[in-house]
Amino acid sequence: MTINEVKAIVSSSSALEVVKAAIERAKADRAHALLELMEERALIRAGEIDEKLNNGIDAGSLAGVPFIAKDNFLTFGSHTTAAAKILENFEAPFQSEAIERLEAAGAICIAKANLDAFAHGGSTENSAFGPTTNPHDSTRVAGGSSGGSAAAVALDIVPFALGTDTGGSIREPASFTGVVGLKPTYGAVSRYGVVAMASSTDVIGPLTHTVEDAKLVMDVIAGKDTKDSTTIENPYDVSATEVKKVGVIKEWLSDGVADDVKSSILRTLDTLKSDGYEVDEVSLPILQYALAVYYIIVPAEVASNLARYDGIRYGVRPGTTTNLASVYSETRNHGFMPENKRRILIGNYVLSSGYYDAYFRQAAKVRTLLTNAMNEALETYDVLVGPTVPTVAFKLGENTRDPLSMYLADQMTVSASLTGMPAVSVPVESDGLPVGFQIIGARGSDTTVMAFASVIEGASV
């Protein structure tokens, strides 16, 4: 159901009944999308919403609408684990800004969603609590790291879920599960109260059934926040520019893209051409370096952000430690997944003396060149488009022993993350498993990107 359909049911019935029904669907979760229900708090909040509505008090634009938050959002009424053993007993002392804004608008969080531990991964197989499976095929992954959020929406447990996107972690699972996944412009949503992965690319966004629903959520959570100095004015408050010229990224439809994905994208492009859009191929050779740049810069930031998890201030501490050094080593050995350790090692290596100039500094320079190249392309074209991921959802376990193969799934999503540009994955007509169509716009052009996403959505009905 969409948000407006749920709101209609709330109006004709009650928020309590709507939330009870969502909780029952959550209890029947067949994809291991969820880690913890927030039943008691959700039912109390639903009763409060009903009381407001019955007394003629404005309960907010999302009054009574249930939703799910990825388990790296700090929330009341649950643990916040980031799907990592080191935080399995952590209860947040405050809520994230995004959750606070949604609750102020009347939305009700009913559960926390599974993810790759600390959001490190593209399949939700790196969760310390087990993988999430794809609702369309239980032998396949749901994508990551926001796989639980995407699966919960695909299963119609709730009309929307919150995710985070650092290099594609909203868009990739959206593509794999057949839902809409939005990564807004960097800084559009406050990151206050969200477990940090890579601070220069972390972005918060929704996973929904429709483009309109994504916009409704962004209308609530976007905008400046004094607690996060990177936030910007709400880019969803401005009018959309009409899209006339569409740039199809040549490198994203070349070798390495699966035939079923390519055919879905080309079919959608043919529809755009027949509808009068100017659709041209644009070559951006620098994109070949984007993945390497991402996997230098992001692990460096990961290593910095994970340094706080030491077993001293919060989190799980093994009981066998005898000195400070062993507290650190045993806590991290027990609490981090192999992928967390891998990224810490890579990050510390590229930041170390003797290698900083050769790796991190060079990557930062190429990041600037990538930004310039994409900005230049967006001076000619209103949006840039292509597949979200080069394949449909892959099999569980297929890439777990080959990190490079897993990282290659990110090759079409990391460029928008590195440049801070808005990007959305919209499901398009496919011959089998879901395929996502990715739309990228210039920084701050979120409304234009979303308006064009509605066009793609309509063309795929």
**For residue 435, what pLDDT is reported?**
98
**For residue 282, what pLDDT is reported?**
98
Residues of the chain with pLDDT under 70: 319-321, 460-461
Residues contacting 51, CB < 8 A, separation 6+: none
Q: Does domain 3-221 have CATH number 3.40.50.1360?
A: no
Strands 245-249 vs 383-387: parallel, antiparallel or unpaired: parallel
Q: Which two tokens stand for residue 277?
A: 């859009």
**For residue 321, what pLDDT is reported?**
67
Q: SS3 string of the chain?
A: CCHHHHHHHHHHCCHHHHHHHHHHHHHCCCCCCEEEECHHHHHHHHHHHHHHHHCCCCCCCCCCCEEEEECCECCCCCCCCCCCHHHCCCCCCCCCHHHHHHHHCCCEEEEEECCCHHHCCCCCCCCCCCCCEECCEEEEECCCCCHHHHHHHHCCCCCEEEEEECCCCCHHHHHHHCCEEEECCCCCECCCCECCCCCCCCEEEEEECCHHHHHHHHHHHECCECCECCCCCCCCCCCCCCCCEEEEEHHHHCCCCCHHHHHHHHHHHHHHHHCCCEEEEECCHHHHHHHHHHHHHHHHHHHHHHCCCCCCCCCCCCCCCCCHHHHHHHHHHHHCCHHHHHHHHHHHHHHCCCCCHHHHHHHHHHHHHHHHHHHHHHHHCCEEEEECCCCCCCECCCCCCCHHHHHHCCCCCHHHHHHCCCEEEEEECCCCCCEEEEEECCCCCHHHHHHHHHHHHHHCC
**For residue 363, what pLDDT is reported?**
98
**8 Å CB contact between 191 and 230:** yes
pLDDT tens-place string over residues 117-155: 999 999 999 999 999 999 999 999 999 999 999 999 999
Q: Where are the domains of the chain?
A: 3-221
pLDDT tens-place string over residues 372-417: 999 999 999 999 999 999 999 999 999 998 999 999 999 999 999 9
Q: Is the backbone peptide bond immediately before 264 cis, with ω within 30 degrees of 0?
A: no
User: Which sequence positions are flagged as catalytic?
Assistant: 70, 145, 169
Q: Compute the C-alpha angle 132/120/127, nearest 5°.
A: 35
**For residue 316, what pLDDT is reported?**
78
Residues contacting 444, CB < 8 A, separation 6+: 185, 232, 235, 238, 422
**For residue 326, what pLDDT is reported?**
84
